[in-house]
Amino acid sequence: MSPDARSTPDTLFAGVRLLSEGVDLVGDLLVRDGRILDFGPNLGRPDEAIVVEEDGAVLCPGLVDLRANLGEPGFEYRETIASAAQAAAAGGVTTLVALPDTKPAIDDPALVYLLRSRGEATGSLTILPYGAVTRGCRGEELAELGLLREAGAVAFSDGARAIGSPRLMRLALSYARGFGARIVQHPEDPSLAEGGAATESDLATRQGLPGIPAAAEAILVARDIRLAELTGGAVHFAHVSTGDALELIRRAKESGLSVTCDTAPPYFDLNETAIGDFRTYAKLSPPLRKEADRLAVAAALADGTIDAIASDHQPRDADDKRLPFAQAAAGGVGLATLLGVTLAQVHNGSLSLPAAIALLTARPAALLGLETGRLAKGTPADLCLFHPERIWQVEAGKLPGKAQNTPFDGRALEGVVFGTWKAGRRVFG
């Protein structure tokens, strides 16, 4: 228990909807010494407790974000750990898995320790680093996976770069299997994607943009499923965006292979038309897809094929985006909008509220074997209080955090975060 937790008064959340995996009731929740002491109907009000009451509010675990780039180290002009922590708190995120393709890449145990300690220093965000699969995330030789794991890397990835070599991917899956870790793949065949700027389609052709075929995703997914079968290793596909890839993943799961995946809000909320008249804020990696793929991603959320929703937070400086579309950097920020865009699937009837919250909390936490992500007695009081029907508007330039490159600029969202608590201490709201 931290000294801060001991010195924090009890907090009672009174008369809210408590929502977590296996929990859905209107009642109270009591926090003491940084952990959940009790919850249920009519707990009573301890003397000197801080009482939090919000009509119509939902209290859920703090969100667990499986995929975010923090900018630091090496790209602090785009984002810093401090500014990302600010955006995360505003979005209800209390645990975040940081991508390793920084400068230098997270291929040294000392850097894993550094990121974890800097997360603790924020007081509001637990940072769990991915270790690099290959040295420098260059795809040439394996990093020291065992040492990175010992230092606290929760899984291994080369971030926004696909592990293109089948031999290296096979070796990585085999080694990671020895200590129960996943390889997290950016599922896009590098040779097919090279030089592309948008999904290969009639729209891209009309706009004169070099295309990336949707098949580039399914081709690499199919390859890596076979390699997972060959090695017995565990592969996780990040930000899956096409129906063909999801069907391959669905079949692999039915066969009992160690295959999991996530997606990000742009891929179930936007389609290729969002790039509009060369709108670089909507240039992402993977690129926004056709409407049929967007619908397939939404369906895969509902049927359980997709294991988690991640922010896919990719901060970019204004100068990265103020370029012709083909030359502009891909990526969009997502921490502050993660909950609101996900809740759009609830409001349109595609997902139930409990299912949506599970995709943001318990299910990503379970993938990494984390204690957080659920409401249970004795667990850390990492909490998010939100109103699912309050409306706010996304406005680039006014988002929390340093980077402002949101593909949802101008969008009205239902789902306002009232407050975020880390280990029982209020860090937002």
**Per-residue pLDDT tens digits for 279-329:** 999 999 999 999 999 999 999 999 999 999 999 999 999 999 999 999 999
Domain presence at residue 311: yes
Helix (H) or strand (E) holding 389: strand 383-393
C-alpha 148 chain-centroid distance: 21
Per-residue pLDDT at 48: 87
Is 123 in contact with 422 (CB distance < 8 Å)? yes
Is 227 in contact with 173 (CB distance < 8 Å)? yes
Share of the chain above pLDDT 70, in %: 98
Per-residue pLDDT at 357: 98
Classify 180 in phi/psi space as left (phi over 0), alpha (psi -120 to 50) or beta: left
What's 191's domain CATH number?
Answer: 3.20.20.140
Per-residue pLDDT at 46: 85
Are residue 277 and residue 299 in the same domain, yes or no? yes
Q: What is the pTM of this model?
A: 0.96
Strand order in the sheet with 93-98: 63-68, 93-98, 126-129
User: Residue 302 corresponds to which tokens in the numbers above?
Assistant: 């509902």
User: Residue 222 corresponds to which tokens in the numbers above?
Assistant: 């199919």
Are residue 326 and residue 360 in the same domain, yes or no? yes
- Taking only Cα atoms into account, the Rg of the chain, rounded to an integer number of angstroms, comes to 21
Dihedral in degrees, nearest 10, Cα atoms 154, 156, 158, 159: -30
Give the span between the Cα atoms of 418 and 96, in whole angstroms. 20
Name the domain boundary from 321, 337, 368. 368
Are residue 282 and residue 361 in the same domain, yes or no? yes
DSSP for residue 296: H
Look up tokens 């996943």; give the residue.
Answer: 182
Classify 36 in phi/psi space as left (phi over 0), alpha (psi -120 to 50) or beta: beta
Are residue 145 and residue 194 in the same domain, yes or no? yes
Are residue 50 and residue 88 in the same domain, yes or no? no
Domain presence at residue 301: yes
Residue type (1 letter), 70: L
Residue type (1 letter), 400: P
Are residue 25 and residue 143 in the same domain, yes or no? no
Mean pLDDT, the chain, rounded, equals 96
Give the span between the Cα atoms of 344 and 395, in whole angstroms. 17
The pLDDT of 32-37, averaged and rounded, is 96
What's 39's domain CATH number?
Answer: 2.30.40.10
pLDDT at 2 over 90: no
C-alpha 419 chain-centroid distance: 19
Are residue 35 and residue 111 in the same domain, yes or no? no
Class of residue 376 by CB neighbours under 10 A (exposed 0-12, middle 13-18, buried 19+): middle
Domain presence at residue 373: no
Are residue 347 and residue 413 in the same domain, yes or no? no
3-state helix, strand, coil in the chain (%, to 5): 35, 25, 40
pLDDT band at 1; cut points 50, 70, 90: very low
Give the span between the Cα atoms of 87 and 67, in whole angstroms. 14
**DSSP per-residue codes, 259-285:** EEEEE-HHHHH--GGGGTTT-GGG--S
Q: How many domains does the chain have?
A: 2
Domain presence at residue 91: yes
Helix (H) or strand (E) holding 420: strand 412-422
Nearest to 30 by CA among 9, 11, 54: 11
Give the pLDDT confidence of 345-365 residue by residue, as tens digits. Answer: 999 999 999 999 999 999 999
Domain presence at residue 375: no
Give the pLDDT confidence of 37-77 residue by residue, as tens digits. Answer: 999 998 988 888 999 999 999 999 999 999 999 999 999 99
Of 312, 320, 382, 409, the active-site residue reads: 312
Known catalytic membership, residue 312: yes
The pLDDT of 95-115, averaged and rounded, is 97
Give the span between the Cα atoms of 264 and 271, in whole angstroms. 13
Give the span between the Cα atoms of 352 and 346, in whole angstroms. 6
Are residue 15 and residue 162 in the same domain, yes or no? no
Domain presence at residue 83: yes
Are residue 386 and residue 268 in the same domain, yes or no? no
Is 124 in contact with 89 (CB distance < 8 Å)? yes
Per-residue pLDDT at 241: 98
Domain presence at residue 269: yes
Are residue 303 and residue 188 in the same domain, yes or no? yes
User: Residue 60 corresponds to which tokens in the numbers above?
Assistant: 């859920």
Give the pLDDT confidence of 166-202 residue by residue, as tens digits. Answer: 999 999 999 999 999 999 999 999 999 999 999 999 9
pLDDT at 32 over 90: yes
Is 122 in contact with 150 (CB distance < 8 Å)? no
pLDDT at 254 over 60: yes
- For residue 393, give its domain range: 3-59+381-428
Domain presence at residue 200: yes
Are residue 130 and residue 180 in the same domain, yes or no? yes
Is 212 in contact with 192 (CB distance < 8 Å)? yes
pLDDT band at 7; cut points 50, 70, 90: low
